[in-house]
Structure 1
Amino acid sequence: MPTYQMVYGDGEQVVRETYEDVQVEREDGWTVLFRGGSAILRVQDVHVQSLERVGPQPG
């Protein structure tokens, strides 16, 4: 499963986290990270500053 690094928030409230073994879905202005069948994080796209896949790369 992929690993992503995400920076989100606004103003002085900015969070930088690495999420391992997640799937990312984007829908209706939201970015949602899933692990297994459960959503572990849901952030409005307007608050996502960056989302980068850091490993493993698809082969």
Structure 2
Amino acid sequence: MGGGGRLPSEGLRGVGGNVRGLLRFDGDLVHALDAAGPEVQRAAALPAARRGV
């Protein structure tokens, strides 16, 4: 199960990396980013990558 008791979407299941760890850390944020779509995901990923998060 994902954050908040929700199952990960098909898209989240297909992502490599530590998605399960992120779901445990802040599942609501992960599900919100998943629902937001590619443009928002890229906009959020750039500063996160720069910070080394």
TM-score category (smaller protein): under 0.3
Of Structure 1 and Structure 2, which has the larger fraction of its residues in strand? 1
- Larger RCO, structure (CA 8 Å, separation 6 or more): 1
The structure that has the greater radius of gyration is: 1
If the length of structure 2 is used for normalisation, what is the TM-score?
0.24
